[in-house]
Amino acid sequence: MSRRQFALPGRDRPDPPDDTGCTILHVDMDAFFASASLLARPDLRGTPVIIGGSGNRGVVLSATYEARRFGVTSAMPMGRARRLCPTATVLPPDHRLYSRISDAVMATLGTFTPVVEPLSVDEAFLDVAGAIRRLGPPAVIAQTIRDTVADEQGITCSIGVAPTKFVAKLASNLAKPDGLVVVPVDEVVTFVQQLPVAALWGVGDKTEESLVRLGLRSVADIAHTPLETLKRALGDAAGEHLHALAWGRDPRRVETVVPEKSIGADETFEYDVDDPAYIHRRLLRLSDKVAARMRAAEVMGRTVTIKVRFADFTTITRSRTLRDPTDTSRVVYDAARDLFDRLGLVRARIRLVGVRVEKLLDLERAPVQGMLDEPEHGWRDADRAVDRASARFGAGSIRPASLLDR
């Protein structure tokens, strides 16, 4: 199916698509970080621009569509991106700007419907069923959103309009950049089944390889494969999940409150490191950052996970579930350091380490246990004193002595 058949009424097809029952919208900012950065550099519009660290050890955060035509993608090492597109301008990220624009866009979406489910800083699902009487059909609402975001923020977004979340997200991707695609209810199955298997949620590289070995290359192939065959090949849960998606079935509702499932941070080094003491200091800094974010979000977590990426880009993770939930920097660090030490790495050259805390609970559901004179309570008091100092004097004004510049 071509994009033309599912495009905005009056734009690419002579007859408007029927958006009856298509109350789910997926709104996705176009190359968000790059588009936002170009607001201060209008002279670079229409040229290849890459957002990320300027050194060869950095990674690509975002890229304009002009740079993407050369093969530049997010999370690509900056050295490779420069080789693919040597004429690109590299700009440093401005996370404060991105956060401000994201907050403004989400506030705008909330004026159309209260049923908004943010997925990240630059995309969200909306259910506009309750807004149709006030604002018009779903496709009209979607176009109004696009116009409003462009007028107020100076950036563009693409929107998919469909009866389910899964199909709406597929449609917004088809609409990029700066487009709107409607998938009518009676065309959902046709729309989904003409896609490659990799388009289905949950199909990664390994699952795709398994499907191809079975001779299943398109979603239609999956749809017409007996469910029991899929279960035997992929497992009961995965088989049922993919079979349902292949027929356009997705019962999930738009959730207005989505609790954060994890909080983490990682660091890519300027050069490959094989010194355990250096890694320990980085883990301490990352643990401190993660715990501070947890306290700011008023959550505690039970599972600490570390990520280690080696010089050859091989990546491993290790996790530990604590007895009690915590938001204390020292507790997170002790777990992260022990996980790293248990790897038993000897002179292994490491490119990146990361720390993440999962199984988050809000403070009301994760009360602090123990007596007032227990060590963890003392660390919690110290952490909160650091938080207050950081709020007054700036982040990093107080930090562990081992992190001071030598």
Q: What's the whole-model pTM score?
A: 0.68
- pLDDT tens across 258-292, in order? 666 789 999 988 889 999 999 999 999 999 999 99
User: pLDDT over 90 for what percent of the chain?
Assistant: 59
69, two tokens: 């035509």
Q: Strand, coil or helix: what is 77?
A: strand
Q: Strand, coil or helix: what is 108?
A: helix
DSSP per-residue string spanning 341-387: HTT--SS--EEEEEEEEEEEEETTTSPPPS-TTSHHHHHHHHHHHHH
For the chain (length 406 residues), average pLDDT per consecutive 10? 40 70 96 95 95 79 95 90 94 91 94 92 95 94 96 96 95 93 94 90 81 90 91 86 91 80 88 93 94 87 93 90 88 95 90 92 56 47 58 54 52
Count of helices and strands (H, E) across the chain = 15, 12
Pairing mode, strands 49-52 and 89-91: parallel
H helices of 176-235, in order, are: 188-193, 205-213, 219-223, 227-234
Enumerate the domain spans of the chain: 1-186, 195-246, 262-403
The pLDDT, as a whole number, for residue 11 is 44
Residues 6+ apart with CB under 8 A from 271: 57
What Å distances lie between residue 46 and 28, 85, 106, 174, 291, CA to CA?
Answer: 20, 14, 27, 21, 41
1-186 against 262-403: fold identical: no
CA-to-CA distance for 168 and 126, rounded, in angstroms? 10
Q: Is 123 a catalytic residue?
A: yes
Contacts 24+ apart (CB under 8 A), 42-47: 44/89, 44/91, 47/87, 47/88, 47/89
Binding residues: 28, 122
Radius of gyration of the chain (CA): 24
Per-residue DSSP letter, 42: G
CA-to-CA distance for 48 and 64, rounded, in angstroms? 6
The pLDDT, as a whole number, for residue 71 is 95
CB burial readout 183-192, b (16+ within 10 A) else e: bbbebbbebb
Could you tell me which CATH class the domain 1-186 is placed in? Answer: alpha beta
Query: Which CATH number applies to 262-403: 3.40.50.2300, 3.30.1490.100, 3.30.450.20, 3.10.150.10?
Result: 3.30.1490.100
123 in Cβ contact with 25 (< 8 Å): no
351, two tokens: 């490119």
Fold classification of 195-246 (topology level): DNA polymerase; domain 1 (1.10.150)
CA-to-CA distance for 307 and 372, rounded, in angstroms? 33
> Out of 117, 123, 358, 374, which one is annotated catalytic?
123
CB burial readout 372-396, b (16+ within 10 A) else e: eeeeeeebbeebeebeeebeeeeee
Binding residues for Mg(2+): 28, 122
Residues 6+ apart with CB under 8 A from 298: 362, 363
202, two tokens: 């949950």
Residue found under tokens 């009856």? 20
- pLDDT tens across 11-29, in order? 455 567 899 999 999 999 9
The pLDDT, as a whole number, for residue 58 is 81
CA-to-CA distance for 144 and 136, rounded, in angstroms? 10
The pLDDT, as a whole number, for residue 10 is 38
Sign of the alpha-carbon dihedral angle for 223, 228, 233, 235: positive
The pLDDT, as a whole number, for residue 59 is 86
CA-to-CA distance for 175 and 157, rounded, in angstroms? 9
The pLDDT, as a whole number, for residue 394 is 54
The pLDDT, as a whole number, for residue 259 is 63
CA-to-CA distance for 367 and 117, rounded, in angstroms? 28
Q: Strand, coil or helix: what is 8?
A: coil
CA-to-CA distance for 26 and 36, rounded, in angstroms? 20
Residue found under tokens 């097809």? 13
